[in-house]
Structure formats: structure tokens, C-alpha cells
């Protein structure tokens, strides 16, 4: 009789052999180049991470772009900017495209370069020599020039904040042709040449007059223009009223230090703006940014903190009401304590990977109060949660400081308990090493295969928070890989949980983006 341990009938395909190791030295699966590029684009910030440095990340991205077709690079750049709300990575992919496919570059440029900061980042990347040239080249130079010529005066004034390169540097580089006397004076004002003040846009004329006599209300310009001027609380309040939503969110403590919140009326004004649904959606704020603003604002007035919580509920409104028996596994290991956007000298975000992972779990729990949440490092950690708590409160409770990493731990726990499961959502950086094997399949894939034998209908969603070229699971019909930390992941989870798509849906969504 045949050996049943070798020739038993399988409900699911046998897990494939692992073919690489991850940055932590654990057994892993190599990602398809398109999936790997998509993950880097949605999570990579070109900064040092727990297991890698910025240079290695850059070289990995450049190597991946050489393995995929230019049109997919263009669509990935669009996804990274418009859906994942990334900054540097879309500009890098656009720079690569400028050499690979001029037509795709021209199509993607106006949708990736959507503000002055993106323009300056693109120019800096092109001039660095990292993509193969140290100059813009004729087509990129023409596109940059056209962007400047078509931008409104207000857009250019706001874009003139920032260095390396400054907008003045870019203007000197591409020589935009002024369409009229006002634009000629504005270009001269930006680059520091002589200009006719009477020809400047009205708001710039008002600013120059205010610098000479800083009394009364300051003109409606970003408050960075006033950083060296002695302003009183009333003037700071005027700047707070005029600030963009994102600038207001980022500078709440600055406003507090300068007396803005000493006026109860201003507290109400700022609180109302923070919780305004239209402004929250238009700002494209990432949920983790609201979480950090809330944590950093311990000394702010209560109405401001309450408004931040309201904004969080709006920003995470797309959290899915997932059907069936749902489990959310949250990686709380040591590497998850690192900044989610990487280490950057003097400018590392306070938001850790574990904060974002906890936030995802909290959002799922709000949509499905019966969901089981399993924090894990080398084993499952047990935490009692109240699903009626706010997203902010739930995320704070789940952000545990852990140790080593065994991504298989929550699946092993479910199998030992023989828990029935319809959907598992795993949020991790995928650097599993404590459960690694000498060869064969990863422990995570073996545990998932065992769970599938018990629950054939079960599906697994792996949300990756860091740019890595390997995974603990193989992407297939019952396994979906998603990269990133924007609210777009919730939409994909909901579609996948409804069995509307198979495990290729994330990369396919990028592939389907219209150029």
C-alpha cells in the first residue's frame, strides 16, 4: 500500500519550497519583480530601516525597475502617489522612466508631479546621477518648465518654500518664459533678482509691505514666510486660520506655543476645521499621521484632541465591515518598533511600524466588533480590548513592545486551538527568523496549509509595512499581499474578503491604472 504520509490527498496545493532568506536570516519566498516593485513603491521612503539602509533600498528599486516593463513602472508611480500618497518613491520611478520610456514619462509626469515639493524632489533625483544622468535632459527639462509656466502665482509662492533644490534653483535651471509683467516680476522675486514691486501679485506686494511694517493681520501666505518676524497671538491666529489642513495638523503645538489657543473662539475654529469631513478627505491624511498628532498633543485643549479623534474616524471610514470569522494578527516584535518611514537624521517620524499595525487592527475591529485580535512576536500576546473604544484608544492598547519574530505564531495558535476562521489579516514587516527552518517551506506557509485543511474557505491577507523583497507566504488565490500604510488597503481587504477577487488583485489594480 502507498505511503499515506507521502501520497495523501490534499485539499490545497502543497506549499512550495522557500527559495531565499530575508534580511533577518529567516527562510522566505522571493517576490515576483512586479509585486516587489509595488511593495517598495508603496512603503519605501528611501531612508534607513531596521534591517537595511537607504542606499541598499535605492539599488534594490533600480534593479527591480530593470526587470519590469516601463508601463508598469509608470502605473506604479501613479499608484504610489495618488493612492498610497508617497512622495520620494513616485518621483524616483518617474526619473527612471525619463530614460526608459519618454512617452510613458510624459503621460505620468503631470499626475505624479502635483505640487512644488514633488517638482523639487524630481529635479534633485535627476541631478543626483543615481538614475544614470546628472542633468535633466531635454524632455524632463521641458516638462518642468511647462509645470512652472502653467502653475498659478499662488502655487509658485507656496512652492518657493524649501531647499535642495529651491524653486529658485529650478527656475534658474529651466528658464521658464514669463507670460506677462506680473510673472516676470514674480520669477525675479523668487530667484532674488531686481524686480518691479508694483508688478508683483497682490499677495506678494502685501507680504513685502508687511515685512517693512509687521503690524495688523499678515497676508494669506504659509506661516514659514513669517518665521523670522515678531508676531503676536492675534497674528498667529490669522496664520492658523489660513493654514492648509495638513499644515494646521502638523503645527498644532506651534500654534499653542504662540498663544493661538488662549482664545476659546480660535480653539473652536481649529477644532471645526480638523473634523470637517471634506477637508480631511481632501488633505489625503494618512491615519498614522493623525495618530501621531494625537499622541504629540498631550498639552493641547480637549476640543482639539477630540477633533483629532473625529478626524481619525473620518479618515478610517473605509475600514471594512468584514464578514464571517475574522482574525487580525499584529506583529509587535522588536523590528516593528522602528519608524514606519525609516530613520532620517533629525527628521525620523515618531510613528512606528507597530503603531501602524495596531491602527489597522483597530480599524478592522471597529468594522467587525467580533473580530479576534492576536498581537504576536515569538508567540501570541493576549490583550483585552473593547471594540466600542475609539480607533485612537484601541491603537494605543495594541502598540506593545515585543521581542523576536515568528510570523507563524498566530496561525500556529489558531491551529492548536482549532479555531474556525474565514479570514486572517496579518500586519507585519515579514522579518520572521525565530521560526525559521533549515529548508523546505516556511513555518508560516506550513501553518497556513494546516489551517486550510481545517477551514478550506479561509483566506489570508498579508499587509507588509516595510520594503522587503521577500515574504513568508506565497501569493496565490487564497493569499493576498498588500503593501503600504494608507487607507487604500481597507478597500482591497473588503473586496478580497467578499471573494470578488483572487490573490493577484493588488498588483492587478496597479496594472489596471489608466495612463
445-496 tens-digit pLDDT: 999 999 999 999 999 999 888 878 788 998 888 988 888 777 677 777 877 7
Does pLDDT of 339 surpass 80?
Answer: no
Residue 31: what pLDDT?
86
Q: Confirm whether 192 is domain-assigned.
A: no
Lowest model confidence (mean pLDDT) among 87-91, 119-123, 428-432: 428-432
The answer to the question of residue 178 being in a domain is: no
Cα gap 198→181, rounded to integer Å:
10
Span of 33-47, 239-253, 414-428, 462-476 with lowest mean pLDDT: 33-47
Characterize the bridge pairing of strands 372-376 and 326-331.
parallel
CA geometry: angle 374, 379, 384, nearest 5 deg:
35
Q: What is the pLDDT of residue 46?
A: 67
CATH assignment at residue 341: 3.40.50.410
383 has a pLDDT exceeding 90: no
pLDDT at 3: 55
Asked if residue 408 is part of any domain, the answer here is yes
* Residue 130 maps to a domain: no
In a domain, 92, yes or no: no
pLDDT classification of 347: cutoffs 50, 70, 90: low
Element (H, E) at 296: helix 287-296
Mean pLDDT of 83-93: 89
Residue 491's pLDDT is what? 74
Count of domains observed in the chain: 1
Of residues 417 and 402, more confidently modeled:
417
Q: What is the pLDDT of residues 268-288, one digit of tens each?
A: 999 999 999 999 988 888 787
Gap between the Cα atoms of 337 and 314, Å rounded = 26
- Residue 43 forms part of a structural domain: no
- Check residue 287 and give its pLDDT: 82
Partner residues linked to 380 by β-bridges: 376
Q: Which residues, including other chains, have CB under 8 Å from residue 29's CB and lie 6 or more apart?
A: 16, 18, 19, 20, 442, 445, 470, 471, 472, 473, 474
Separation of alpha carbons 117 and 164, rounded Å: 11
Domain span holding position 473:
318-511
Find the mean pLDDT for residues 336-341: 78
Q: Higher-confidence residue: 85 or 5?
A: 85
Mean pLDDT of 262-272: 96
Model pTM score:
0.82
Percent of the chain with pLDDT over 70: 91
Residue at 269 is within a domain: no
Question: Is 439 a member of any domain?
Answer: yes
Q: Quick check: 214 pLDDT over 70? A: yes
Distance CA(501)–CA(509), nearest Å, equals 11
Which position has the grid cell 514669463?
A: 178
Amino acid at each position: 500500500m502507498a505511503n499515506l504520509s507521502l501520497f495523501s490527498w490534499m485539499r490545497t496545493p502543497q506549499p512550495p519550497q522557500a527559495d531565499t532568506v530575508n534580511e533577518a536570516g529567516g527562510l522566505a519566498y522571493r517576490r515576483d519583480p512586479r509585486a516587489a516593485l509595488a511593495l517598495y513603491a508603496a512603503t519605501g521612503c528611501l531612508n534607513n530601516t531596521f534591517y537595511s539602509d537607504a542606499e541598499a533600498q535605492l539599488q534594490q528599486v533600480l534593479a527591480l525597475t530593470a526587470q519590469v516593463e516601463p508601463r508598469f513602472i509608470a502605473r506604479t508611480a501613479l499608484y504610489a502617489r495618488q493612492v498610497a500618497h508617497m512622495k520620494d518613491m513616485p518621483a524616483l520611478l518617474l526619473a527612471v522612466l525619463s530614460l526608459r520610456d519618454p512617452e510613458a514619462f510624459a503621460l505620468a509626469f503631470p499626475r505624479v508631479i502635483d505640487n512644488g515639493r514633488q517638482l523639487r524632489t524630481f529635479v534633485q533625483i535627476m541631478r543626483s546621477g543615481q538614475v544614470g544622468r546628472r542633468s535633466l535632459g531635454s524632455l524632463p527639462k521641458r516638462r518642468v518648465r511647462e509645470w512652472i509656466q502653467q502653475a498659478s502665482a499662488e502655487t509658485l509662492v507656496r512652492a518657493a518654500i524649501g531647499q535642495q533644490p529651491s524653486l529658485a534653483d529650478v527656475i534658474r535651471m529651466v528658464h521658464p518664459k514669463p507670460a506677462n509683467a506680473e510673472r516676470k516680476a514674480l520669477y525675479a522675486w523668487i530667484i532674488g533678482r531686481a524686480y518691479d514691486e508694483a508688478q508683483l501679485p497682490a499677495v506678494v506686494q502685501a507680504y513685502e509691505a508687511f515685512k517693512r511694517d509687521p503690524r495688523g493681520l499678515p497676508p494669506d501666505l504659509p506661516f514659514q514666510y513669517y518665521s523670522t518676524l515678531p508676531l503676536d497671538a492675534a497674528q498667529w491666529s490669522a496664520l492658523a486660520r489660513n493654514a492648509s489642513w495638513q499644515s494646521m495638523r502638523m503645527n498644532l503645538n506651534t500654534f499653542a506655543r504662540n498663544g493661538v489657543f488662549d482664545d476659546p473662539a480660535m480653539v473652536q475654529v481649529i477644532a471645526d476645521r480638523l473634523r470637517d469631513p471634506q477637508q480631511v478627505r481632501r488633505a489625503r491624511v494618512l491615519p498614522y499621521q493623525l495618530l501621531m498628532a494625537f499622541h504629540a498633543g498631550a498639552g493641547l485643549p480637549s476640543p482639539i484632541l477630540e477633533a483629532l479623534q473625529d478626524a481619525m474616524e473620518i479618515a478610517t471610514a473605509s475600514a471594512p465591515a468584514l464578514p464571517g470569522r475574522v482574525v487580525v494578527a499584529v506583529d509587535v516584535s522588536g523590528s516593528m518598533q522602528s519608524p514606519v518611514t525609516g530613520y532620517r537624521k533629525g527628521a525620523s517620524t515618531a510613528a512606528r511600524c507597530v503603531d501602524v499595525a495596531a491602527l489597522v487592527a483597530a480599524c478592522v475591529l471597529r468594522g467587525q466588533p467580533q473580530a479576534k485580535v492576536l498581537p504576536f512576536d515569538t508567540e501570541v500576546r493576549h490583550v483585552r480590548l473593547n471594540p466600542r473604544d475609539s480607533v485612537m484608544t484601541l491603537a494605543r492598547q495594541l502598540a506593545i513592545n515585543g521581542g523576536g519574530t515568528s510570523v507563524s505564531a498566530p496561525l500556529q495558535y489558531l491551529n492548536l486551538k482549532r479555531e474556525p476562521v474565514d479570514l486572517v489579516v496579518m500586519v507585519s514587516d515579514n522579518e520572521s527568523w525565530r521560526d525559521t527552518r533549515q529548508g523546505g517551506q516556511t513555518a508560516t506557509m506550513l501553518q497556513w496549509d494546516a489551517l486550510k485543511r481545517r477551514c478550506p474557505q479561509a483566506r489570508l491577507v498579508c499587509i507588509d509595512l516595510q520594503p522587503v523583497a521577500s515574504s513568508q507566504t506565497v501569493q496565490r488565490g487564497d493569499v493576498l499581499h498588500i503593501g503600504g500604510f494608507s487607507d487604500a488597503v481597507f478597500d482591497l481587504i473588503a473586496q478580497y474578503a467578499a471573494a470578488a477577487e483572487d490573490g493577484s488583485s493588488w498588483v492587478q489594480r496597479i496594472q489596471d491604472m489608466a495612463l
